[in-house]
Amino acid sequence: MASLDGAGAPECDLAGSTLALPDGASVTVPSVGGVIVSQGSNTPARSYHLVNWGVAGLGVALVEERQATGIWASTPEARDLQKDQLKVEDVDISRLQE
């Protein structure tokens, strides 16, 4: 998953769509407001945090040992919301590139 830019039409609810993760796993996009945390089977300290922000889009973050190491979003607004969500989950976002 190199990028989520432009995923889905504006105001399109992607709930039920399948999102392929970089490690080969796939997750089903939850309903609007839904959060999914998918842990890697080979590295349990590594997880993907996915949120369906509705009109704002999708946000996905790679978290390793409470440290966000990657973030992807379909819109800049979804990226900002995803970062805020990570802070709520007490995940360190200081290493994310702007």
Segment 16-67, tens digit of pLDDT: 988 888 878 888 999 999 998 888 666 778 899 999 999 899 999 999 999 9
pLDDT tier for residue 1 given thresholds of 50, 70 and 90: very low
The pLDDT score that the predictor gives to residue 75 is 94
Answer positive or negative: Cα dihedral of 54, 56, 62, 65. Answer: negative
Closest CA to 64 of 19, 95, 27, 25: 95
In this structure, what token pair is assigned to residue 33?
């407001």
